[in-house]
Amino acid sequence: MKKTQPRNPFPTVDIIIEVKGGIVLIKRKNPPSGWAIPGGFVDYGETVEDAAVREAKEETGLEVELKSLLGVYSDPGRDPRFHTISTVFVAVAAGHPIADDDAADAGVFMEGNLPDQIAFDHREILADYFRNR
């Protein structure tokens, strides 16, 4: 009898980075396209907190201080590539973001001027953030 390999969701983090003038979003280099909350995959042996700080630095160049946990988002359809579970943090940083790693661009936005094309379920996450601020 052939043993089947278990399929598990991938753990990810997203970081809503508060800076002077608003929050940081990155424009993705790779599909799915659009603007997104900075974030990425948790490496083996890494805490979600360490992953959040690392991903923020890799994608925006910003050193962040985690302030709070916004929530956990686990809808199996949230990422069109595969099932992910994201732990979403709110963080604060000083300075201006510079796109790096898999970010094509980075910008600072407020609730009233969010980009039209937002990837994944990040519009829902941002709505939760602005509602709970």
Query: Which pTM was predicted?
Result: 0.94
Q: Give the number of other CB atoms < 10 A from CB of residue 81.
A: 10
Strands 39-41 and 103-109: unpaired
Q: How large is the average pLDDT for residues 10-17?
A: 98
Distances (CA, A) of 60 to 8, 85, 114, 128: 29, 22, 17, 22
* Terminal Cα-to-Cα distance of the chain (whole angstroms): 54
Over 80: is that where the pLDDT of 91 sits? yes
- CATH class of the domain at 15-132: alpha beta
Q: Is 92's pLDDT higher than 80?
A: yes
**Residue percentage of the chain with pLDDT more than 70:** 99
Helix (H, G, I), strand (E, B) or coil at 54: helix
Mean pLDDT of the chain: 96
Contact criterion met (CB below 8 Å) for 75 and 128: no
